[in-house]
Protein backbone atom coordinates (compact mmCIF):
# COMPACT_ATOMS: atom_id res chain seq x y z
CA UNK A 1 0.00 0.00 0.00
CA UNK A 2 1.36 3.39 -0.89
CA UNK A 3 0.33 6.97 -1.29
CA UNK A 4 0.78 7.93 -4.93
CA UNK A 5 1.42 11.32 -6.48
CA UNK A 6 -1.78 12.97 -7.66
CA UNK A 7 -1.53 14.31 -11.19
CA UNK A 8 -2.82 17.81 -11.73
CA UNK A 9 -3.69 19.89 -14.78
CA UNK A 10 -2.22 20.16 -17.38
CA UNK A 11 -0.91 16.57 -17.06
CA UNK A 12 -1.96 14.87 -20.33
CA UNK A 13 -2.92 11.60 -18.58
CA UNK A 14 -5.95 13.44 -17.20
CA UNK A 15 -7.15 14.04 -20.78
CA UNK A 16 -6.78 10.50 -22.09
CA UNK A 17 -9.66 8.07 -22.45
CA UNK A 18 -8.74 5.35 -19.97
CA UNK A 19 -8.56 1.72 -21.11
CA UNK A 20 -10.97 -0.95 -19.98
CA UNK A 21 -9.61 -3.39 -17.40
CA UNK A 22 -9.66 -6.84 -18.99
CA UNK A 23 -7.80 -8.79 -16.31
CA UNK A 24 -8.22 -7.89 -12.65
CA UNK A 25 -4.80 -9.17 -11.67
CA UNK A 26 -2.44 -8.44 -8.79
CA UNK A 27 -1.29 -5.18 -10.31
CA UNK A 28 -4.89 -3.93 -10.48
CA UNK A 29 -5.49 -5.00 -6.86
CA UNK A 30 -2.36 -3.10 -5.82
CA UNK A 31 -3.47 -0.08 -7.84
CA UNK A 32 -6.85 -0.09 -6.02
CA UNK A 33 -5.16 -0.36 -2.59
CA UNK A 34 -2.78 2.47 -3.45
CA UNK A 35 -5.66 4.60 -4.77
CA UNK A 36 -7.56 4.10 -1.49
CA UNK A 37 -4.46 5.15 0.49
CA UNK A 38 -3.96 8.15 -1.79
CA UNK A 39 -7.62 9.21 -1.51
CA UNK A 40 -7.46 8.97 2.29
CA UNK A 41 -4.16 10.89 2.47
CA UNK A 42 -5.67 13.68 0.36
CA UNK A 43 -8.98 13.65 2.29
CA UNK A 44 -10.82 13.13 -1.00
CA UNK A 45 -14.23 11.52 -1.49
CA UNK A 46 -13.27 9.94 -4.80
CA UNK A 47 -10.29 9.18 -6.99
CA UNK A 48 -9.93 7.84 -10.52
CA UNK A 49 -6.90 5.92 -11.78
CA UNK A 50 -5.82 8.59 -14.32
CA UNK A 51 -5.36 10.92 -11.35
CA UNK A 52 -2.48 8.73 -10.20
CA UNK A 53 -1.10 8.45 -13.73
CA UNK A 54 -2.70 5.11 -14.67
CA UNK A 55 -4.96 5.21 -17.71
CA UNK A 56 -7.29 2.40 -16.65
CA UNK A 57 -11.03 2.43 -15.93
CA UNK A 58 -10.83 2.17 -12.16
CA UNK A 59 -12.23 4.53 -9.51
CA UNK A 60 -12.76 4.54 -5.76
CA UNK A 61 -15.35 6.52 -3.83
CA UNK A 62 -15.78 6.98 -0.11
CA UNK A 63 -18.31 9.44 1.22
CA UNK A 64 -18.31 10.37 4.92
CA UNK A 65 -19.86 7.64 7.09
CA UNK A 66 -20.36 5.39 4.08
CA UNK A 67 -18.83 2.25 2.74
CA UNK A 68 -15.98 2.43 0.30
CA UNK A 69 -16.99 1.71 -3.30
CA UNK A 70 -14.56 0.30 -5.84
CA UNK A 71 -15.60 0.66 -9.46
CA UNK A 72 -13.93 -1.24 -12.28
CA UNK A 73 -15.11 -0.43 -15.82
CA UNK A 74 -18.03 1.68 -14.57
CA UNK A 75 -20.70 2.74 -17.04
CA UNK A 76 -23.41 5.33 -16.63
CA UNK A 77 -26.73 3.57 -17.24
CA UNK A 78 -29.16 6.36 -16.42
CA UNK A 79 -29.11 9.99 -15.27
CA UNK A 80 -32.17 11.79 -13.98
CA UNK A 81 -32.86 15.32 -12.88
CA UNK A 82 -30.53 18.25 -12.62
CA UNK A 83 -29.21 20.31 -9.75
CA UNK A 84 -26.60 23.01 -9.30
CA UNK A 85 -23.68 21.85 -7.16
CA UNK A 86 -20.35 23.07 -5.86
CA UNK A 87 -17.52 20.98 -7.16
CA UNK A 88 -13.77 20.57 -6.74
CA UNK A 89 -11.14 18.06 -7.81
CA UNK A 90 -7.81 16.93 -6.37
CA UNK A 91 -6.37 17.32 -9.88
CA UNK A 92 -7.41 20.99 -10.02
CA UNK A 93 -6.01 22.17 -6.68
CA UNK A 94 -6.99 25.53 -5.25
CA UNK A 95 -10.17 25.91 -7.28
CA UNK A 96 -13.84 25.34 -6.78
CA UNK A 97 -16.69 25.74 -9.21
CA UNK A 98 -20.36 25.47 -9.84
CA UNK A 99 -21.69 22.79 -12.17
CA UNK A 100 -24.94 21.07 -12.96
CA UNK A 101 -25.19 17.40 -12.13
CA UNK A 102 -27.87 14.73 -12.19
CA UNK A 103 -29.97 14.24 -9.06
CA UNK A 104 -29.93 10.45 -9.42
CA UNK A 105 -27.79 8.14 -11.49
CA UNK A 106 -27.62 4.43 -12.12
CA UNK A 107 -24.22 2.92 -12.76
CA UNK A 108 -23.05 -0.57 -13.57
CA UNK A 109 -19.54 -1.69 -12.83
CA UNK A 110 -17.43 -4.60 -11.66
CA UNK A 111 -16.15 -4.96 -8.12
CA UNK A 112 -12.57 -5.94 -7.32
CA UNK A 113 -13.48 -9.62 -7.61
CA UNK A 114 -14.73 -8.94 -11.13
CA UNK A 115 -18.38 -9.39 -10.22
CA UNK A 116 -20.78 -7.06 -12.01
CA UNK A 117 -23.03 -4.91 -9.85
CA UNK A 118 -25.43 -2.01 -10.23
CA UNK A 119 -25.49 1.02 -8.02
CA UNK A 120 -27.97 3.85 -7.63
CA UNK A 121 -26.66 7.17 -6.41
CA UNK A 122 -28.54 10.22 -5.23
CA UNK A 123 -27.37 13.79 -4.66
CA UNK A 124 -23.70 13.77 -3.51
CA UNK A 125 -23.12 10.14 -4.49
CA UNK A 126 -24.64 10.82 -7.92
CA UNK A 127 -22.34 13.83 -8.30
CA UNK A 128 -19.22 11.91 -7.31
CA UNK A 129 -20.13 8.97 -9.58
CA UNK A 130 -20.51 11.36 -12.54
CA UNK A 131 -17.29 13.15 -11.62
CA UNK A 132 -15.22 9.95 -11.37
CA UNK A 133 -16.64 8.35 -14.52
CA UNK A 134 -15.91 11.63 -16.32
CA UNK A 135 -12.26 11.28 -15.28
CA UNK A 136 -12.09 7.94 -17.10
CA UNK A 137 -13.09 9.71 -20.31
CA UNK A 138 -10.61 12.54 -19.87
CA UNK A 139 -13.26 15.00 -18.74
CA UNK A 140 -12.82 17.30 -15.74
CA UNK A 141 -15.49 19.22 -13.87
CA UNK A 142 -14.06 22.47 -15.18
CA UNK A 143 -15.27 21.36 -18.63
CA UNK A 144 -18.84 21.59 -17.32
CA UNK A 145 -18.45 25.15 -16.02
CA UNK A 146 -20.80 27.38 -17.97
CA UNK A 147 -19.06 30.72 -17.51
CA UNK A 148 -15.76 31.97 -16.03
CA UNK A 149 -17.48 33.48 -12.99
CA UNK A 150 -18.63 29.98 -12.00
CA UNK A 151 -15.03 28.96 -11.26
CA UNK A 152 -13.07 30.60 -8.49
CA UNK A 153 -9.81 30.35 -6.64
CA UNK A 154 -10.34 29.18 -3.09
CA UNK A 155 -7.95 31.80 -1.74
CA UNK A 156 -10.19 34.53 -3.16
CA UNK A 157 -12.94 33.46 -0.77
CA UNK A 158 -10.80 33.88 2.34
Cβ distance to Ni ion smaller for residue 7 or 112: 7
Q: Of the listed pieces 24-32, 83-91, 97-105, 116-124, which binds Ni ion according to CB under 5 A?
A: 83-91
How far apart are alpha carbons 123 and 104 in whole angstroms? 6
89 scored as a contact of Ni ion (CB under 5 A):
yes
Active-site annotation, residues: 132
Q: Give min distance, CB of 53 to Ni ion, in A.
A: 14
Question: Is residue 59 near Ni ion by the rule CB under 5 A?
Answer: no
Length of the chain: 158
Contacts 24+ apart (CB under 8 A), 58-62: 58/18, 58/21, 58/28, 58/31, 58/32, 59/35, 59/132, 59/133, 59/135, 59/136, 60/32, 60/35, 60/36, 61/125, 61/128, 61/129, 61/132, 62/36
Task: Identify which range of 2-10, 27-35, 73-81, 82-90 contacts Ni ion by CB under 5 A.
Answer: 82-90
Minimum gap (Å) between residue 23 Cβ and Ni ion: 26
Looking at the Cβ atoms of 39 and 89, the one nearer to Ni ion is 89
Q: Which residues contribute to the site for Ni ion (CB under 5 A)?
A: 89
Amino acid sequence: MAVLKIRTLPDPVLRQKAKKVTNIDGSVQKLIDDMIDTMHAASGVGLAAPQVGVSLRVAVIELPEQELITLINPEMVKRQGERVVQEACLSVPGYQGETKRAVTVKVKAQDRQGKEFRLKGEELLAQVLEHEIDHLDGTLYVDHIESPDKLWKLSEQL
